[in-house]
Every structure is written in structure tokens, then in C-alpha cells.
Amino acid sequence: MLKSPLMLKGMALLGCMALLLIPLRILSVVIGERADYRDHVTHSLEQSTSGPQKLVGPLIVIPVTEITTTMEEGKEVTRERSFIRYWLPESLMVTGKQAVEPRHVGIYEGQVWRSEVSLEARFTLPAQAVNPGAQYRLGDARLVMAVGDSRGIGNVGALNINGQTLEVEPGTGLEEGGEGLHASVPAALLEASTLAVRFSLELNGTGAFSVVPLGRSSEMSLISNWPHPNFYGNFLPATREISASGFAAKWRSSWYANNLDGYFQKGQEVRLGALPAFSVTVATPVDQYQLTDRAVKYAVLLIALTYMAFFVCETLSGITMHPVQYLLVGLSLVMFYLLLLAFSEHIGFNLAWLAASLAGAALNALYLQVVLKGWRRSLIFAGGLLALDGVLWQLLRSQDFALLLGSGLLFAALAAVMLLTRHIDWYALTPAKARFTRLTPASQEERFRLWK
């Protein structure tokens, strides 16, 4: 059986496919390195401009010192405890208009964005939780606006509280630090039952833009010229519209849903950056590196189907192909993916796929014209390769139907092989010494009786 030409040819083809896995692995490494360099360019843009932005505010911060006096062992003991009292808005309305601009570093592209943000908040004087027997000493109240990266703060508009304009200072003014803005709130304003706050600023960044819904009821509206948003985080938009010219989205939330008031309990340390938020990121659509990497995963399928077609052609036509010829055709299929990667960095993935497919089909048509002894067979195989490339392109572009298309392709290939070879006597293709012995019913019965 080891001397069977079919067995030897099958082992040779498996060896060719195993050898082709080496350049495919190298190609995967090259794709990863190019993608890493693209990510490095994006990181460089973030370092030279500003990073993701998370807007927390406005909220009013009041330092409080609680003084309690107790009798211990006949002596009067006074203790002081300092904490921060956070005053959250009853309602918060955020309106933003975002403009995304592409930035190029060589052949690579990243995005930076600029948002004009307007905020309207209404505060209601909270009831003071009084500890019996305690006295309170209040510090200077501040209105705080925290951001993720202060380098992205552009033009700062006027801060208006109940019709009074306040001066805005850099930094949050909190003991734990933080980047952002703050303004001192006069004590006279705190005597009002409600505070109406209006504020606007320009915020620049890369990647994500987030707003924490601090209000008992909070809303955010954002309009952008970027057609590839990625909505993520704790809250998805209540409504959204995405088109080729950009997107528009609206978020809504309340304390019933986010429990944000629980993060600001008296005396509890608050990590502003960890608060849940409305979030959207300027996402890069599936780029050429991701698509090429996914395409390489189908390379074994492409090579196997091609080899199967050659094997059937050999069987039906009597033309014999050497394993080296199989290997060269397989290398041309691997070269298709390298051309795809190289072209896609300059002309886009779709045009690169078309150019690489035409180049591969033309090369194989010229080569197979001699191997298959005629233009007719070589052009049929070149057309088959183009059709197979088209099917694989559909597999890449249609994730929802990838399994269905792949299964249909394999079923069609198997059906074609079975139909084309159904009249072949495979024993006739095998030398007599290597064949299995065909047993007659009588001999089968005799062997079964002896075995028993």
C-alpha cells in the first residue's frame, strides 16, 4: 500500500501544504508588526495632543469639618473629622458638537477630535444630615469640572450661576488632585434654594469621549461628523442616527438607573475616573490589517481547494503534475496575501484585493498554460481562482453569513469532486501489488468462520 501512486501523491500534497504553513506564519507575523506600528502612530498622536476625555461635572464641593464633644471618664473630649460634601445637580443637560480630523504620519492615519460642549445644570439645596451633638465648620465651596486630560482644554467660556459670572481657575482644587477646572462659589449664592449653572468649553482629545451623568436626571446630545462611532460603557444611547456624514446620539439616565448619588456618600473618597458614564469612541473601521489577518486564516482552505482541483484534473485528463509544481502554485497563493497587505496600505483593502487577485490569476494562467498543456485549461483554472477569491471576499465582508457561505463552498467543492470522479475505478489507478484483495462472498464467509 505504501507503493501506491495515490498514496504517494497524497503524502506529497500534504507535505507541500505543511511547507506552505511556514510562509503563512511569517506573513502573519509581518501583519502583526505593521498593525503594531499603526497603533504606535495612534499612541504618538495621543502623546502629542491629548488622550481620551472623561467629563465629570459640574458638581459643588464643600469641605466640612465635623466637631463632636463627648464625656469620657468625666472629661470633656472634643474630636474633629474632616470630609468632603458633594452637591450633585438635580438635572444635567449636556450638548456637544464634535469635529473629527484625520492626522497622517507617513502612510498611517489617526484621528483627533474637537468638541464644543455646553452644560446646563440645576442644583437644589440639599437637606443637611445633622449628627446630634455635632457642630460643623464649612470651608469655601467650589464648583468643579474634572476632565481626563487637561491638555485638551481649549477655549473656556463664561461660568454663569444664577445670572452671576464667576472666574474659572485651572485644576479641580481637590486634595486628591485631578485635572480640570474649578470656580469658587460665594457664600451668598449658597443661600438660594436653587442654583442654575450654565457653562461651555472646548475639549480636544483622541479616542473616547465620556460624560458622567451626575444629575438626578441627566441627558446628553452629541453630533459628530465621524461615521464610525463605537458606543460602549455603562449606558447605550437612547436614540442614535448614523450616516455617511456622521452620527447623532442622545443618552438619558437617572439615579434610579445609575445610583450615582451612592458614590458621593458623606466622608467617602470618590474616584472620579471610575464613575459610570455616557461613552462613545472615535472608532477606526475594520482596517486592512484586521481584514488581511482574517483572510490569511482562509489560506489553507484556498490552497486545499486548489490542490483538490488539480488532483481531479490529473485524474480525469491523465496529465501528471510534479509536487514541485504544486508547491509553486501554492507559493503563488501565499504571495496573493503579501500583495494584498502591501497594496492595501496605499489603495485600500477592496482595490488591493482586486489587484492581488488579478495578479495571482495572471501568473497562474501563464504558468499552468505549459503545465496543463493548453490555454483552455489554464484559463479555466485562472477563472476558478478569481471566483474563489470572490467567494472568500464575501466571507470576509459578511460576518453574519460567514459560516453559511463557508459551509456552502465546502459542500459545493465536495459535490463537484464526487460527481466528476463517480465513474473512476480507483483500483485501476493502483498497481496490482498495492491493491486491497477483493473478497468474494464465499471467501468472506470462510474467513469469518475461521476467525470464530
Span of 44-58, 125-139, 287-301, 404-418 with lowest mean pLDDT:
125-139
User: Which CATH code fits 54-282?
Assistant: 2.60.40
Say how far apart CA 213 and CA 238 lie, in whole Å: 14
> What average pLDDT is seen over the chain?
81
Q: Which of 6, 17, 12, 4 is nearest to 333 (CA)?
A: 17
Say how far apart CA 12 and CA 14 lie, in whole Å: 5
Place of cell 450615582: 260
Report the pLDDT value the prediction gives residue 218, as an integer from 0 to 100.
94
Task: With cut-offs at 50, 70 and 90, classify the pLDDT of residue 426.
Answer: low
Determine how many CB atoms are found less than 10 A away from the CB of residue 61: 22
Report the pLDDT value the prediction gives residue 447, as an integer from 0 to 100.
43
Question: Taken in order 156, 162, 165, 171, is the CA torsion positive or negative?
Answer: negative
How many Å is the maximal CA-CA distance in the chain?
116
Say how far apart CA 412 and CA 259 lie, in whole Å: 56
Q: In terms of pLDDT, which residue wins out, 320 or 95?
A: 95
What pTM value is reported for the model? 0.70
Distance set, CA 404 to CA 193, 308, 309 (Å): 64, 21, 22
3-state helix, strand, coil in the chain (%, to 5): 45, 30, 25
Task: With cut-offs at 50, 70 and 90, classify the pLDDT of residue 285.
Answer: low
Peptide linkage before 186 cis (omega within 30 of 0): no
Phi-psi category of residue 208: left, alpha or beta, with phi > 0 → left and psi -120 to 50 → alpha: beta
Q: Which of 242, 369, 365, 385 is nearest to 307 (CA)?
A: 385
Half-sphere exposure at residue 110, Cβ-oriented, CA atoms within 13 angstroms? 22
- The most confident of the ranges 25-34, 216-225, 385-394 is 216-225
Q: Are 46 and 105 in contact (CB under 8 A)?
A: no
Q: Which of 281, 236, 275, 269 is nearest to 255 (CA)?
A: 275
What does the pLDDT look like over 209-229, one tens digit per residue?
A: 999 999 999 999 999 999 989
Report the pLDDT value the prediction gives residue 113, as an integer from 0 to 100.
92
> Strand, helix or coil at 196?
strand
* 65-92: average pLDDT: 79
Percent of the chain with pLDDT over 90: 21
Query: pLDDT at residue 205 above 80?
Result: yes
Report the pLDDT value the prediction gives residue 444, as an integer from 0 to 100.
45
* 12-35: average pLDDT: 86
Query: pLDDT at residue 359 above 50?
Result: yes
Say how far apart CA 277 and CA 275 lie, in whole Å: 6
Q: Which of 274, 56, 271 is nearest to 146 (CA)?
A: 56
Grid coordinates given for 421: 470522479
Q: In terms of pLDDT, which residue wins out, 33 or 7?
A: 33
Say how far apart CA 409 and CA 305 lie, in whole Å: 10
Q: Which of 162, 127, 157, 137 is nearest to 145 (CA)?
A: 157
What is the residue extent of each domain of the chain? 5-37+288-421, 54-282
Query: pLDDT at residue 42 above 50?
Result: yes
Percent of the chain with pLDDT over 70: 84
Span of 28-32, 62-66, 379-383 with lowest mean pLDDT:
62-66
Place of cell 473512476: 424
Q: Are 9 and 434 in contact (CB under 8 A)?
A: no
